[in-house]
Chain A
């Protein structure tokens, strides 16, 4: 090898010199860019945080949150509350934020004063004593202003661990034109729903009634609530109930597997391009949609604008009014904060005041309230969207918000969701059935919970 490189002709040396000169140029350019970047980083960073109306001597609160439009509500709070200055930071959405939050709590530094936490994740933070009990700060007086399902998810006995913000009650969102063209009436029970799906499919095998994504944990668990088949029980402490193989749960699994096997429903991923294309082409005549769904859907379709009408979810028993909850989040005050009182005041305002909701339900944030005065507000209920034509989805969703089961989330939802995706992938592929996946998942989750030191009940 020495031999090879000592034969360097003059030409080679010259080429190398040219090379190194060019490299130098690149390096200089790089350093210049770096310097430029460094300067602007230093200059721009403080301006990023929302800090309007923050006077000298105001108490500073750090608030982690990701939903759109929260910055506007924070600005409004700072403007109207000169003694407190809230700085909003986006530390990632959902699980990304929870990982950071629990890391920061373990490290004992870097945790915010207030954090956005979805309802299902609250018990995981409660059990590690990471959240401040707000009942000590007079926040519980807002109880009568919150939808019962939201209230039950933020409380454990007399302790209140978070302030509810938004909710995602389910309703049936259907393509009225496609229903009419195929002579379908709006199904009020699940058995009607299956019959309608069969009728539609018989007319045109390309048409499916709706989409069911077996791999979407929160979607399936919301549908299970609505089916009165929620598999978890938990009331704090070290005992968890897990029951995916009970009568109601298995009936749910068999019902949907029946529709999947006969190809009466599609199994595209939630929010995948395929799902939007199916809704817009008629391959899906309906969507089992959470209240925040239509808002996101309106920009993703173009052919069926104006056709979408909202109705109550099909029921397990005729005359029922039950709905399930998919999504929504709360604001929790993180233990270790030096300003619990001010933080409590902030979260109370954020989730439970007309001023905040004017912004949160506005065009940028588009959140669906757990805040009862707004749910009952006639202007709110009368809102229309371009895709819903002259119909008013909020009327139905607001009604649904008052008729929901209280899901008791176990403090193991992060692991449960991770395991779910891998266990249920086979249902989408057709290599296993939904009841089989339920049975497997039951065993996996019970084993996991026991390994974590929980006492597990299975009935």
Chain B
């Protein structure tokens, strides 16, 4: 028996041993398949319609190719300001900057805060943690005007830091890191390191962090996605389209496409949507292994 076959044999435990009735597996598989179609169909649609011109986007079957093949013209249009709303490539670059700086910052802060909450006993620790959690309950829309007024006072309106600084605080990230560190960085190990004379910073960097890599990657992924998809904050603080991220930029192209100009904007919008989701998909595929480990750890101990 080859190694591969052996592995398969041990992995394929008959369904009835799990207490599943005969016939359940095909039903579950079919349900999963349906869900997969539900999730993937819009992506397929984007891919197909990015190759059409506007008349064929509206006037042909959405899940098959039709009309002249316009993919390359549509992609080329992403580098130009054809709608008066701005240039897609600028928005893509802005989003990358905001997402990377915001997410790296959020991961560092979450690791520090999570480690503090998980491994230090101090007065008011619980109260502070609940205060952090409670901020999840405040709807961001109710903060729009006060946020803007404060931003205007400190000069963060139309500044990239106005976007990046708030993005470096992730409540979910702090929660995840606390849970993860509680589970994977033993208190005994920290005590032992202290006995040996390691400084607190060294313990954090050399012991706690290496043991928390899956947790860190999870937080990084979650915050990249959060910043990537953030619409509300940039909408409020930017009035220059050269600073827009993809979310706000695409919605302004969408508004331009609606009111009707002579430009072929709808296919450009679709192509832009496609290009917007691709980096996120790539990131997930790249880091999926860590992400799964991190998410599972959280679920077992949280």
Interface positions, chain A 388-446, Cβ under 8 Å from B, are none
Chain A residue with Cβ nearest B243: A45
Contact of B63 with A by CB under 8 A: no
Residues of A within 8 A of B266 (CB): 300
In the complex the two chains form, what is the Cα distance from A69 to B158 in whole Å? 24
Contact A109 B152 (CB under 8 A): yes
**Does A366 lie within 8 Å of B242, measured CB to CB?**
no
Known contacts A19-B214, A34-B96, A107-B149; A301/B242 CB under 8 A: no
Of A23-31, A76-84, A195-203, the one with at least 4 CB within 8 A of chain B: A23-31
Residue contact B239 to A277, C-beta cutoff 8 Å? no
Cβ–Cβ < 8 Å partners of B84 in chain A = 66-71, 90
CB contacts (< 8 Å) of B22 on chain A: these are: none
For A110, list chain B residues within 8 Å (CB). Answer: 152, 157-158, 239
Q: Specify the chain A residue showing the minimal Cβ separation from B217.
A: A23
Task: Identify the stretch in B13-21, B168-176, B255-263 within 8 Å (CB) of chain A at 4 or more residues.
Answer: B255-263
Tell me if A16 and B211 are in contact (CB < 8 A).
yes
Say yes or no: A66-B149 contact (C-beta < 8 A), given A26-B286, A34-B101, A273-B58.
Answer: no
Contact residues, B52-108 vs A (CB, 8 A): 53-59, 67, 81, 83-86, 90, 93-94, 96-97, 100-101, 104
User: Closest residue of chain B to A30, judged by CB?
Assistant: B100
B213 touches A27 (CB 8 A): no
B262 touches A30 (CB 8 A): no
Asked if A91 contacts B239 (CB within 8 A), the reply is: yes
Assess whether A295 is in contact with B301, with CB atoms less than 8 Å apart. no
Interface residues on chain A, size class = 35 or more
Contacts A301-B58, A364-B262: A94 and B255 contacting too (C-beta < 8 A)?
Answer: yes
In the complex, per-residue mask of A86-100: 1 if CB is within 8 Å of any chain B CB, else 0: 000111111010001
Tell whether B42 is near chain A: CB-to-CB under 8 Å. no
Q: Cβ of B230 < 8 Å from any Cβ of A?
A: no
Write the B180-200 contact mask toward A (1 if CB under 8 angstroms, else 0): 001111111100000000000
> Across the two chains, which residue of chain A brings its CB closest to B267?
A299
Selected contact of A96 from candidates B145, B184, B252, B301, CB within 8 Å: B252
Please determine whether A27 and B256 come into contact, CB atoms closer than 8 angstroms: no
Q: A37-B97, A48-B241, A90-B252 are in contact. Are A299 and B217 (CB under 8 A)?
A: no
Q: Report yes or no: B100 in contact with A92, Cβ–Cβ below 8 A.
A: no
Q: Quick one: which of A96, A297, A363 contacts B255, CB cutoff 8 A?
A: A96
A280-B152 Cα distance, complex, nearest whole Å: 49
* Residues 141-176 of B at the A interface (beta carbon under 8 Å): 144-145, 148-149, 152-153, 157-158, 160
| Segment 264-296 of A: residues with Cβ below 8 Å from B | 271, 273, 276-277, 280-281, 292-293, 295-296
Q: Are B85 and A299 in contact (CB under 8 A)?
A: no
Q: Report the bound CA distance from A20 to B84 in whole Å.
A: 45
Chain A CB within 10 Å — which of B53, B217, B260, B290 has the most?
A: B260
B186: chain A residues at CB < 8 Å are 2, 5-6
Which residues of chain A are within 8 angstroms of B152 by Cβ–Cβ distance? Answer: 104, 107-110
- Establish whether residues B255 and A292, one from each chain, have CB atoms under 8 Å apart when the complex forms: no
28 contacts between A and B (CB under 8 A): A1-B301, A5-B186, A5-B211, A16-B211, A17-B210, A31-B100, A34-B96, A37-B94, A41-B97, A64-B239, A66-B85, A71-B84, A90-B84, A90-B85, A90-B252, A93-B256, A93-B259, A96-B251, A104-B239, A110-B157, A110-B239, A271-B260, A276-B58, A276-B59, A280-B55, A299-B262, A300-B55, A301-B58
Q: Which 7 A-B pairs have the closest CB atoms?
A: A296-B260, A107-B152, A91-B239, A93-B255, A48-B242, A302-B55, A37-B97
- Kindly list 14 other residue pairs between chains A and B, CB separation below 8 angstroms, not including A5-B211, A276-B59: A26-B287, A37-B93, A37-B96, A38-B97, A41-B93, A45-B242, A71-B81, A71-B84, A106-B149, A273-B57, A295-B262, A299-B264, A300-B55, A363-B262
